[in-house]
């Protein structure tokens, strides 16, 4: 049986095991203490494949990259347990939402905002992180980042509690006209940035139990800030590129600002 030891900020918290049939399991050292994933609660009440999906989400999605890692690291195979046995001492500390929800890496485009909001509310017992997630979602929508999927948002689980990770992989993806411009996370039915209106944000709030006024205010405020700060943010770029990126922000926020 193969074993992967798991540490959280210097403290050993549990062990992943791979059985002869390939099944991956996980056991905490103790029923008390912080969890390593919201999909792996201390009471052991998780889905059969949650430990496997957790490990899978620590690695790149691309099979070719995993094969390259196998060759470079000298791993026994490109499977998660073998790769992490060689590289696991240096994996990311933040947990992406595909992990937290116990989903496969390639499900990242199938996870929607309402699922993440519900997860954050269950995990914390309040709405603070849910509103922080709305801020990140609204910012990505405002700048034209249509590729903000569930692996581009993360939470950090620490002994002191849960926090959202700083934003990352943030760029106006629709700048490249050959890239799919459909939102990775639809805003309650709106499939493109410019289609999002206050009504979409308010409906998302209603469906997830958040305050409609507060959610709309967050989205509208960030749309205005994105527009106002664009000249400064793009100041060092060639003038034609900066102008095009500013137009993308104006286009991406049009439905929200003009309808407000």
The full DSSP string for 29-89 is: S-SSS--S-TTS-TT----TTHHHHHHHTTS-S-HHHHHHHHHHHT-S-SSHHHHHHHHGG
> Using one digit for the tens of pLDDT, what is the confidence trace for 45-58?
999 999 999 999 88
The angle that helices 198-208 and 113-124 make with each other, rounded to 10 degrees, is 40
260 pLDDT more than 70: no
Helix, coil or strand: residue 257: helix
145 pLDDT more than 80: yes
Give the confidence band of 41 by pLDDT, cuts at 50, 70, 90: very high
Give the confidence band of 205 by pLDDT, cuts at 50, 70, 90: very high
H or E, element range at 247? helix 239-252
Give percent of the chain with pLDDT exceeding 70: 96
pLDDT in the model for residue 214: 98
Longest dimension (CA), the chain: 61
* Domain ranges (residues) in the chain: 2-93, 113-259
CA angle 209, 210, 214 (to 5 degrees): 160
Give the confidence band of 1 by pLDDT, cuts at 50, 70, 90: low
Q: Tell me the pTM.
A: 0.88
């Amino acid at each position: 049986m193969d074993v992967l030891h798991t540490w959280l900020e210097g403290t050993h918290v549990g062990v992943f095991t791979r059985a002869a049939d390939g099944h991956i399991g996980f056991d905490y050292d103790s029923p008390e203490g912080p969890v390593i994933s919201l999909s792996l609660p201390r009471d052991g009440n998780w889905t059969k494949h949650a430990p496997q999906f957790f490990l899978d989400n620590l690695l790149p999605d691309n099979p070719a990259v995993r094969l390259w890692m196998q060759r470079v690291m000298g791993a026994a195979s490109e499977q998660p347990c073998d790769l992490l046995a060689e590289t696991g001492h240096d994996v990311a500390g933040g947990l992406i939402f595909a992990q937290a929800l116990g989903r496969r890496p390639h499900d990242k485009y199938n996870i929607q905002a309402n699922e993440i909001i519900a997860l954050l509310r269950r995990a914390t017992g309040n709405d603070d992180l849910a509103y922080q997630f709305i801020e990140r979602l609204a910012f990505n929508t405002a700048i034209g980042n249509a590729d903000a999927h569930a692996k581009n948002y993360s939470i950090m689980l620490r002994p002191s509690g849960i926090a959202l990770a700083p934003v990352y992989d943030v760029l106006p993806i629709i700048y490249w006209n050959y890239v799919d411009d459909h939102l990775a996370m639809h805003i309650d039915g709106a499939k493109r940035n410019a289609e999002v209106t206050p009504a979409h944000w308010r409906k998302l709030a209603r469906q997830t139990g958040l305050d409609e006024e507060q959610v709309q205010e967050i989205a509208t405020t960030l749309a205005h800030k994105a527009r106002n700060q664009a000249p400064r943010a793009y100041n060092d770029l060639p003038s034609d590129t900066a102008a095009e990126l500013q137009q993308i922000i104006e286009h991406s926020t049009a439905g929200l600002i003009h309808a407000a």
